[in-house]
Structure 1
Amino acid sequence: MSEKSSIPFVINSIKMFDGETKKCYFEVSGWDEVLHTDEMHLEKELLKAKAVQTKYEFTSENEVEELKMEQIMVLGTTPIEYFKFEFGFIIPGSTNTFDSTIHGAGEGKMIPPEMLNGKLKCVIRFLDGEKLLAERIIKVFYE
């Protein structure tokens, strides 16, 4: 980022890729708003991946005592998956990365893309303890 953001916690980028082939399916940068809704268009073949890796890069101007990230997958209005990651202390003025790997349920155990298309939302929240720092709601479409 060439200019300093006025927001103390910024999600610089998110990249999602196949855990085995490393093929990139989604990449976005410049999420410098605290709350925002986006769309993600993915290839259906991603649902066949044995593992999906996601890399998050974020910058915090302030000290963060208990950084946590929640990822909630919501189908319609029903949460179907919940992941919580705890980072702990973040140094003020630092840029950090976090990589996560989520393993698929296996062939025949995944919800078909036709049932998910446009109805699935990925909610990503970064928190300091219980205080919300940033949230993204991403509506997922499969092509």
Structure 2
Amino acid sequence: MLDRKRICHGYDILENSLYNDGACLLINSAHVPKSILKCRTVSREINFTSAEKIDKFRLEQRVFLKENIIEEWFFEFGFVIPESTNTWQTLIEAAPESQMLPPSLLSGNVVVETLFYDDDLLVSTSKVRLYYD
């Protein structure tokens, strides 16, 4: 269902194919430059296609550090036209630098779980383990 995720770092766009189509039971991995942790804001773009109409497309995203949820977001996209390709962009503001954890602690210990819904019907799940290089 979802093609790619883009992480904007300054003027550079780092592309990672993080999401598989269909239900994902495995944890994928992504290597991200540790310099992204110094950015004040990060722009995330998700491009997706849907063969069928989706009335209330939304996602829930949880970021785990080991077994603990450290961040949680809820996004609503709304109506998706059948046989369409769509782009969804969000800006995420970083915590103050004094509250940021070091890359050495985060790398390999962070898993981003994203649940994709049509209203309350779970459509797909993705899990990505992040490594900061």
* Deviation readout 1:55-103 (Å, 9 max, x if unpaired): 1011111111111012210011111101111111111111111001101
Pick from 70, 73, 77 the counterpart of residue 60 of structure 2: 70
Distance 1:65 1:53, change over 3 A: same
Does the CA-based 8 Å contact 2:18-2:30 persist in structure 1? no
| Structure 1 residue 14 corresponds to structure 2 residue 21 | no
For 2:97 and 2:21, how far apart are their aligned partners in 1?
37
Identity %: 28
Specify the alignment match of 1:48 in structure 2: 38
Counterpart pick for 2:116 among 119, 122, 126: 126
| Offset from partner CA, 1:33-60 (integer Å, 9 cap, x none) | 3214210111111100011111101111
The answer on whether the counterparts of 1:26 and 1:42 sit within 8 Å (CA) in structure 2 is no
- Listed as ranges, the gaps of 5+ residues in structure 2 are none
Q: Distance in 2 between matches of 1:30 and 1:80?
A: 21
Q: What TM-score comes out, normalization by structure 2 length?
A: 0.91
Displaced runs of 4 or more, over 3 A: none
| Distance 1:29-1:40 versus aligned 2 partners, 3 A rule | closer
Quote the residue 1:81 is aligned against: 71
Give the length in aligned residue pairs.
132
Distance 1:60 1:95 in 2: 7
Distance 2:95 2:61 in 1: 17
Q: Which consecutive residues of structure 1, in runs of 5 or more, have no partner in the other structure? A: 1-9
Structure 2 equivalent of residue 104 of structure 1: 94
Out of 19, 23, 42, the position equivalent to 1:34 is: 23
Q: Note the C-alpha offset of 1:29.
A: 6.9
Query: What CA RMSD, in Å, does the superposition of the two structures yield over aligned residues?
Result: 1.6
